[in-house]
Amino acid sequence: MIDAVADTSASPKHAFRLRHQLRTLQVLAAADFKLKYTGSALGYVWSVVKPLALFTMLYLVFGRLFHLNAISPYYPLALLIGIVLFYFFSDGTTLGMTSIVARGDLIRKLAFPRMIVTVSATLTAALTLAVNMTVIGGFIAWRDIVPRPNWILVLPLLLELYVFTLGVALILATLFVRLRDVGQVWELALQLFFYATPIVYPVGYLPPWARNIALLNPFAQVLQDIRSIILYDDVPQNRITAGDAFGSSFGSLIPVAIAIAIFIVGYYLMRREEPWFAERL
């Protein structure tokens, strides 16, 4: 009976704590998104201009000069999807990496789960992704691509990408508190990541062994699955996914498991180190 009363009294406290944490997350994410372009003449327009500028340059070089657009009439749109998703991953991990250090004053003064700070940084990148997805929607409409019911599958794929991005951001944020050189290492790693992932070039250009390695990357798996759903649903020869590479429909679960594992590692690493964040900042 006493245990039942204790559980009843603990439940409202837990609900209040959860609401408070969600409210804190909402305020931090909104503040981060507003501050990202504060003082800029173009403001939020930059979130669209930057990926479009990179898309234009890469399309002129690889699409026109190297004739990769001859592979498929959908090459420009496939390239744009890859660039937009990469910008999200790059922004989410970079903002997440510096989030704890950037909010040092707040962390030293208030007691709350430090993970909220990193989550808010990745949500800022997610808001930018939502803006850029409207640009992709405009290109889809311009190419007269008719939406299909299976496009709903894009949503769980984007969720998988967010979980993967958040997991990497949690690991980087925890390491960055201890060692600031992580920022320089990650900047170089992102450049290598961009060209090692089939963003600019089709994954079919890779030999089978390299294709299998590339599609172990959750980002590459999400990218290929989204391209397959939106662009290549009726063009099997251009549709190469992790399931195709590993010869089984269960093959797509391998990068999904890797994404979840990375998130779990990031979660427990931050939970273990967060009691010492304040004194290390």
Cα angle 239, 240, 245; round to 5 = 155
Domain count, the chain: 1
Q: Does residue 43 surpass a pLDDT of 60?
A: no
- Taking the CA atoms of residue 65, residue 68, residue 69 and residue 70 in that order, the dihedral angle to the nearest 10 degrees is 100
How many CB atoms neighbour CB 193 within 10 A? 18
Bigger pLDDT: 263 or 11?
263
In percent, the amount of the chain with pLDDT more than 70 equals 81
Cα angle 257, 263, 269; round to 5 = 135
What average pLDDT does range 128-149 have in this prediction? 88
How many CB atoms neighbour CB 223 within 10 A? 25
Contact indicator for 226, 154 with CB cutoff of 8 Å? yes
Please tell me what DSSP assigns to residue 40. -
Residue pLDDT, tens place only, 207-259? 888 888 899 999 999 999 999 899 876 555 556 777 777 777 777 889 999 99
**Cα–Cα distance for residue pair 94/101, rounded to 1 Å:** 12
What average pLDDT does range 3-22 have in this prediction? 59
Bigger pLDDT: 58 or 109?
58
Domain that holds residue 122: 2-280
- Confidence band, pLDDT 50/70/90 cuts, at residue 8: very low
> For residue 197, what are its two tokens?
């992932």
Q: What's this model's pTM, rounded to 2 decimal places? A: 0.85
Residue pLDDT, tens place only, 74-133? 888 999 999 999 999 999 999 999 999 988 777 777 666 788 899 999 998 998 899 899
- Taking the CA atoms of residue 151, residue 156, residue 161 and residue 166 in that order, the dihedral angle to the nearest 10 degrees is 150
| Helix ranges restricted to H, the chain | 2-36, 46-58, 75-102, 104-109, 115-142, 154-178, 182-196, 208-214, 218-230, 242-245, 253-273, 277-280
Q: Does residue 39 surpass a pLDDT of 70?
A: no
Residue-averaged pLDDT of the chain: 83
**Token pair 């790059």 in the structure block, residue:** 90
What average pLDDT does range 145-160 have in this prediction? 92
